[in-house]
Copies of this chain bind each other. A is one copy, B any other.
Amino acid sequence: MEIMPTEIESRICNLQQKLIEQATDGAIILLQSDLFYFTGTVQNSYLYIPASGQPVLMVKKSLARGRQESPLKNIVAIKTPKQIPEILAAYGYNSFSKIGLELDVVPFNLYKSYQTIFPATELIDISPAIKAIRAVKSVVEIELMRDALAVIDQAFLAVPSFLHAGMSELELAALFEAEMRKRGYAGPCKMRAFNQDFFFGNICTGSSGFYPNYFDGPVGGQGASAAQPQGAGWKKINRNEVIYIDYSSIVKGYTGDQTRIFCIGELSPKLVKAYEDALLIEAEIVKSCKPGTLAEEPYLLAVKLAAELGYQDNFMGYKPDQVKFVGHGIGLELDEWPILAKGMKTPIVPGMTFALEPKFVFPEGAIGIEDSFVMTETGPQYLSITPQVITYV
């Protein structure tokens, strides 16, 4: 499925409504994921969306490709952002008392250069409006996420064909990633948060899952070195230990996110029980969620259930490094709205897509489940298609 010009139009229309509500003359969109959302291209460019009227896409490199990929009417060449005011003037956009920028991601120096270009203009943060719009997906976006999840499903199904005791986590990662790459995985995985560098996902085997990590997630892995301390590492994979694979799948820009568990041999009854308890928590969340459920409710329910089951020190990390969420929005980025975390009062409405990931960390390893969902009129629907079983090899 492809995104149609009418869909791009309606996305722009949604932002224009927010611009009018905020009495903002227009927004200048710079970030690749937002550019793609509103134009269909990520060519090096500057997009002006006025509160009313046609947007103008000013492309530095490559203009030819920008025109080929985007259905927008006004696509013009630009050499430097200093030309933005004169280009916009030619389209009749002259008055800028307030312009929105993505101030959650635009570096300070870049902000300052825009303040120089628009000296009399107040530059405000338009990213909350963009995040709110992007959180609710269209039918086509949901289909694209299904495609991404079909790719990761193929990779999970292939694991038994190459997993063996004695290989390193990095060797397993290389083969798992290759299964996705040849089927169209094209990263990098985009995080909107500053400094949360992320590479593919995590493979943690046995004690690696217990390794503390900078990453704002329940499990981070040991990584290959202190410089890149996330994901698969040099540890050899042993028989009878938990093999935890939590990966992103990015196809045509859209992200699927999923975790499955493997084992060569047998898992301890304690870990098998923990896996079943993670499934139970996921199922209870799915049952309790309805359109309008607040984003913090699944987290609060999960924490309550985890404590009742005796996992208060193991849920979403090992004490004291426990993270305070049980899921997150997914789409063009891995950290979209809604964030299923304490204090989040956003209602989860139909069309929102998110990953649910109740997980436990023990000294002997990390275990749990993660699936991708879309909220529907009747509750969350699974987008992930891989069976929810531990695969024994």
Contact = CB atoms under 8 A, between A and B. Distances in A.
Contact of A182 (B41, B174, B183): B174
B174 A181 contact: yes
Interface stretch (A84-92, A191-199, A338-346): A191-199
A78 interface: no
Contacts of A392: none
A329 to B, nearest CB: 17
Contact of A188 (B36, B198, B225): B198
Given A40-B226, A42-B214, A61-B214, 19 more contacts: A32-B197, A36-B227, A44-B195, A44-B216, A45-B214, A62-B213, A69-B226, A104-B109, A106-B108, A107-B108, A108-B108, A170-B186, A174-B179, A177-B177, A184-B225, A185-B224, A186-B224, A225-B253, A227-B254
A214 to B, nearest CB: 4
A220 B44 CA distance: 12
A91 B157 CA distance: 54
A44 B190 CA distance: 18
Interface residues of A, number: 74
Interface of A: 30-32, 36, 40-45, 61-62, 64-65, 69, 101, 103-111, 125, 168, 170-171, 173-175, 177-179, 181-190, 194-195, 197-199, 211-216, 223-232, 234, 250-254, 321, 332
B61 A212 contact: yes
Given A61-B213, A227-B332, A253-B228, A177 B181 contact: yes
B197 A170 contact: no
A247 to B, nearest CB: 13
B225 A252 contact: yes
Q: Which residue of A175, A187, A234 has the most chain B CB atoms within 10 A of its CB atom?
A: A187
